[in-house]
Amino acid sequence: MTQSTIALLRTRLRRMRLGALLAFGMTLALAGCASITVSGSGAAGTNTPGTETSATQGTLSGDVVAGPTCPVERAEDPCPPKAVPNREVDILGAKNAVVATATTDSKGHFSVALAPGAYTVTVPIKQGLIGMRQENDVKANVTAGQVTTVKVTLDTGIR
């Protein structure tokens, strides 16, 4: 088998797995037992946490926090940033195009499998949600077979 045939078979297998996952999720959702969100594009190599990552992909994992969350902070009474749950995280590739989207869990954590390369992690600011702006650009270099960890900090505007 040629490399291109193997790559094609892997792509088809990924699509079949995704189809089976969606069918199972739809069955559970229709039964009122669960909901499943699938985001990102298969071409970008995204997958859901807990599934296998191929040797040709790496994992970008991170936390989204917001601070300050207290109007007054003292050395003896610190007010650390708080986790930001259920928040969209965009992964930008070349030319700042969105190649994957993740959603933080209840502890502000996200994880996505990506092809090796340089990425920028952003959290879109939306009215009514915590965070007035992202404190700084978060860059990540993903390596095949490795986990790259980042932290995104949102400014709440409390001073």
More confident call, 37 vs 23: 23
What are the tens digits of pLDDT across the range 112-135?
999 999 999 999 998 888 888 898
Cα torsion angle, 16, 58, 136, 109, sign: positive
As a whole number of angstroms, the longest Cα–Cα distance in the chain is 66
Q: Pick the residue with more confidence: 33 or 113?
A: 113
* pLDDT attached to residue 101: 97
Bridge partners of 114, per DSSP, are 58
Contact 65, 108 (CB under 8 A): yes
Q: What is the pLDDT of residue 91?
A: 97
pLDDT over 60 (residue 156) = yes
What does the pLDDT average to over 22-42? 39
pTM of the entire structure?
A: 0.64
C-alpha pair distances (Å), 116 with each of 23, 92, 120, 148: 30, 13, 13, 10
